[in-house]
Amino acid sequence: KAGVTQTPRYLIKTRGQQVTLSCSPISGHRSVSWYQQTPGQGLQFLFEYFSETQRNKGNFPGRFSGRQFSNSRSEMNVSTLELGDSALYLCASSGNYGYTFGSGTRLTVV
Amino acid sequence: DQQVKQNSPSLSVQEGRISILNCDYTNSMFDYFLWYKKYPAEGPTFLISISSIKDKNEDGRFTVFLNKSAKHLSLHIVPSQPGDSAVYFCAALAYSGAGSYQLTFGKGTKLSVIP
C-alpha cells in the first residue's frame, strides 16, 4: 500500500506570495489532517478534511486554507506569505488504524 | 495554553541503558495517547499507543505507562540503541465533535543514544 505523498518536498517563496501544497492520502483513507512544525513549537494542528468537508480547524489565521477533492487528495494554501510561515508542513491520513504522516513539505519564506 | 507538555527538550542516554521520556497533559477529555518518532526531513512515524482505560502497554523494547490521576505518561525504551536517536513526540487524541478527532502534540524530546 502506498504511503502518504506530499508534494513538493521543498519550496522557497518570497514574502507576500502565495503557495499551494498537496497531499495524497493512503488509498481508502477519507480523512486528511494538516500540521505545521516549527522549531520549538512541535506540531500544531491546522485543519482536518473528511469527504471534501472541513471538519475541524486549529488556531491559524484565515491566510491558511485548504480543500479536499472527491478522490480524497487535499491541498492547503497559504496566502500573503510571512517569514514566520517558514516551517515543515505535514499531512496525515487516517483510517481505522490511526494516523499516517507524509514526509512533509519544507517551506522557506525569504 | 499548551495541553500536552514535554518538559525535557533533550535527553542523552548510553547505549544499552533505559531511556525514559515524559509527557504531561492537562485536558481530561483526552482518551487515547500516542508516541511518534521523527527523524529530520521525515514525517513522524507511529511508535506505540495507550488507551485511557489502561495503565501500561508494551511492544518489544518500548513500554508506555499512563497515570491518569497525575495526567502523566512516559515512554520507556529498554535497551536503548543508537538507532533510537530521534525526536519523540507525545500526542493525545480527543473527540472534537462532528465525527472528528483531534491529535494534539507536545513539542518533542530529542533523544541521543551514545554508543
Q: Of all residues in chain B, what percent carry a pLDDT higher than 90?
A: 83
Report which of residues A42 and B74 the model is more confident about.
B74
Would you say residue A40 has pLDDT above 80? Answer: no
Could you tell me which residues of chain A have a Cβ less than 8 Å from any Cβ in chain B?
4, 6, 33, 35, 40-45, 48, 50, 55-56, 90, 92, 98-104, 106
Report pLDDT digits (tens) over B39-75: 988 899 999 999 999 999 999 999 999 999 999 999 9
Cross-chain Cβ contact B42/A41 below 8 Å: no
List the single best residue of A35, A43, A54, A101 to mutate versus B (max B Cβ within 10 A). Answer: A43
Average pLDDT across chain A, whole number: 93
| Across B2-25, average pLDDT | 96
Predicted pLDDT of residue B100: 81
Question: Dihedral, CA atoms, B103, A39, A23, A109, nearest 10 degrees?
Answer: 140
Residue A60, CB half-sphere, CA atoms under 13 Å: how many? 23
Assign A84 to helix, strand or coil. Answer: helix
Predicted pLDDT of residue A33: 96
List the single best residue of B2, B4, B103, B110 to mutate versus A (max A Cβ within 10 A). Answer: B103
| Across B73-97, average pLDDT | 95
Q: Of all residues in chain A, what percent carry a pLDDT higher than 90?
A: 85
Backbone torsions φ then ψ of B47, nearest 5 degrees: -115, -60
- Report residue A97's pLDDT band, with 50, 70 and 90 as the boundaries: low
Q: Supply the DSSP string of B1-70, one letter for each residue.
A: --SEE---SEEEEETTS-EEEEEEE--TT--EEEEEEE-TTS--EEEEEEETT-SEEEETTEEEEEETTT
Which residues 51-80 in chain B show a CB within 8 A of chain A?
none
* Shortest Cα–Cα distance, B31 to chain A (Å): 14
Cross-chain Cβ contact A45/B103 below 8 Å: yes
Cross-chain Cβ contact A42/B107 below 8 Å: yes
Q: Which of A41, A50, A106 sits opposite B100 (nearest CB)?
A: A50
Q: Which residues of chain B are within 8 Å of residue A44 when distances are taken between CB atoms?
A: 105
Predicted pLDDT of residue B87: 95
Q: Of all residues in chain B, what percent carry a pLDDT higher than 70?
A: 99
User: Please, are residues B105 and B94 in contact by the beta-carbon 8 Å criterion?
Assistant: no
Predicted pLDDT of residue A42: 84
Would you say residue B95 has pLDDT above 90? Answer: no
C-alpha to C-alpha distance for B26 and B112, rounded to whole angstroms: 27
Query: Side by side, which strands form the sheet with B19-25?
Result: B4-5, B19-25, B72-77, B62-67, B56-59
